[in-house]
């Protein structure tokens, strides 16, 4: 058995995963604002408590656990130190801390990379050897598979496509650069623009979708949609030129808006000239919310 953990910007989920990578039990906890602000030791303690609790409730001994896999938002170096702006952590040695406590091997990875591994092994990327994964949500998480291997550098997991610059002197990103892809093509950007147009605040994805379907004659709204797709297509075209993937797999809350975006995105991508005569397929992720927790324990 393995333990999978998914640390989000506002919650932590811990699950028990069996030999066949099935999630057999899961517990979630929301992080309070206070916990999010001074998070390093608190994060470690919450994690330890949650893992202890789930093991105790299911009557599982620590020696039955082969591995703990942790998915985190942000960057992870090859030693399992994490750097995440959302949780206010800089080079925090999460792998070392949790390994020291449980004496079980710990693997720490970026959450989108975990989701992509689950999608590659069990989801809609299975049949492609070369594929790019983009998770469009609050930001843009990403990974690249070439010849079935997820690429990484000698320093960290790398391949942070969301922080590729697509506009000179563009919008300031919290990575410190201006004009990053995620400042134009993350789902949060689209959602904020729709909220601004209709004077809304903190609207759910479901409500946004309803508004878009109802207001389908609204020209400003159509412009927002077109601009979003234009920016997303620019990033994807760059990825196609660099990696020549067989598929681009898109996950995150984008999947929820597929009826509005998908055809337009495919049309846009097809209009660009391509060196490769076979334009990659655009596929949607199917593993959903548990992709991170399951992907966290995969090799
Ligand atoms: Zn950036």
- Structural domains in the chain, sorted by start: 2-113 (3.30.420.40), 126-290 (3.30.420.40)
Residue 124: phi, psi to the nearest 5?
Answer: -80, 5
What does the DSSP 8-state code read for residue 31? P
**pLDDT averaged over 10-residue windows placed end to end, the chain, 299 residues:** 91 94 93 67 86 95 96 94 84 94 96 98 98 96 98 95 97 95 97 96 92 95 98 97 96 95 96 83 94 96
b/e per residue 240-251 (b: at least 16 CB within 10 A) = beebebbbbbbb
What distance in angstroms lies between residue 63's CA and the mean position of ligand 1's atoms? 41
Q: Which two tokens stand for residue 179?
A: 């004009």
Tell me the residue ranges of DSSP E strands in 75-220. 75-76, 82-84, 89-92, 106-110, 131-136, 140-146, 149-150
The answer to whether residues 261 and 194 touch, using CB atoms and an 8 Å cutoff, is: no
State the distance from the centre of ligand 1 to the C-alpha of 208, rounded, in angstroms: 26
Distance CA 116, CA 113 (A): 5
Give the model's pLDDT for residue 51: 96
CB-based neighbours (< 5 A) of ligand 1, an ion: 163, 173, 175, 177, 180
| Sign, CA torsion 252/276/148/91 | negative
Per-residue model confidence (pLDDT) at position 59? 94
Kindly give the distance from the C-alpha atom of residue 57 to the centroid of ligand 1, in angstroms, as a whole number: 42
Q: Which pLDDT score is estimated for 296?
A: 98
Which ranges in 63-159 belong to alpha helices (H)? 94-102, 111-122
pTM above threshold 0.85: yes
**What is the whole-number distance in angstroms between the Cα of residue 114 and the centre of ligand 1?**
20
């Amino acid at each position: 058995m393995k333990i999978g953990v998914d640390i989000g910007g506002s919650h932590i989920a811990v699950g028990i995963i069996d030999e066949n990578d099935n999630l057999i039990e899961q517990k979630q906890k929301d992080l309070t604002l206070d916990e999010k602000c001074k998070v390093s030791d608190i994060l470690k303690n919450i994690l330890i408590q949650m893992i202890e609790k789930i093991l105790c409730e299911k009557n599982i001994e620590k020696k039955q656990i082969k591995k703990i896999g942790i998915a985190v938002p942000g960057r992870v170096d090859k030693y399992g130190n994490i750097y995440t702006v959302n949780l206010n952590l800089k080079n925090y040695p999460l792998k070392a801390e949790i390994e020291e406590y449980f004496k079980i091997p710990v693997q720490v990875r970026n959450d989108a990379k975990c989701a992509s591994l689950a999608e590659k092994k069990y989801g809609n990327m299975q049949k492609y050897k070369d594929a790019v994964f983009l998770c469009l949500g609050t930001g843009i998480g990403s990974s690249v598979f070439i010849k079935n291997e997820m690429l990484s550098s000698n320093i960290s997991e790398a391949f942070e496509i969301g922080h590729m610059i697509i506009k000179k002197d563009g919008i300031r990103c919290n990575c410190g650069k201006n004009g990053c892809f995620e400042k134009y093509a993350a789902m949060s950007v689209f959602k904020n623009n729709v909220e601004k147009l209709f004077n809304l605040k903190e609207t759910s994805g479901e409500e946004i979708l309803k508004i878009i379907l109802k207001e389908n004659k609204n020209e400003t709204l159509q412009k927002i949609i077109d601009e979003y797709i234009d920016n997303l297509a620019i990033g994807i075209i760059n990825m196609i030129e660099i990696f020549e993937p067989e598929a681009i797999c898109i996950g995150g809350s984008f999947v929820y808006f597929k009826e509005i975006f998908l055809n337009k995105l495919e049309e846009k991508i097809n209009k660009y000239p391509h060196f490769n005569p076979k334009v990659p397929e655009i596929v949607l992720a199917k593993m959903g919310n548990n992709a991170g927790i399951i992907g966290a324990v995969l090799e």
